[in-house]
Amino acid sequence: MHAGKRRGLDYTPLFRFLLSRVGAPWNEVHSEAVARLDQQAPIFWMVALRKEDWQEYVRLGESSYFSGLCVDALGLLQRVNPGLGPDSLAPQCSCCTHTFNGVPFTRRFEAP
Ligand SMILES: [Zn+2]
């Protein structure tokens, strides 16, 4: 990861890495993730270790959504809600391409 760029969107590769390791032992995933980063905080934007912090999804930047992740009783990285996908959420506006785990939303923006 390019050092010196710390704005939110630059963590997309980290989030994609974490997603790709769902089902793997968290301690291994964590060590691998830390090795790529200059700080640990962004890992925990997506991964919640305490149940009270679990989130079904997290947002990175204006319109990039990702699955919220957690660690299960066996110590494996999991999605908080595995049923959530690109058809689950409605876009907040019509001008941006909203994505869920990198896949464009299938629902259209509906004016309130
Ligand atoms: Zn927009």
Give mean pLDDT in consecutive 10-residue pieces for the chain, a chain of 112 residues.
50 94 98 92 95 95 94 97 96 93 94 80
Contacts for 16 with CB less than 8 Å, ≥ 6 apart: 101, 102
Distance 63 CA to ligand 1 centre (A): 8
106 near 90, Cβ under 8 Å? no
Indicate the domain borders of the chain.
Answer: 8-82
Strand 57-60 relative to strand 64-67: parallel, antiparallel, unpaired?
A: antiparallel
Distance 78 CA to ligand 1 centre (A): 30
3-class DSSP state of 31: helix
Distance 81 CA to ligand 1 centre (A): 26
Q: Write out the residues surrounding ion ligand 1, Cβ under 5 A.
A: 93, 95-96
For the stretch 42-72, pLDDT in tens is: 999 999 999 999 999 999 888 999 999 999 9
Query: pTM for the full model?
Result: 0.87
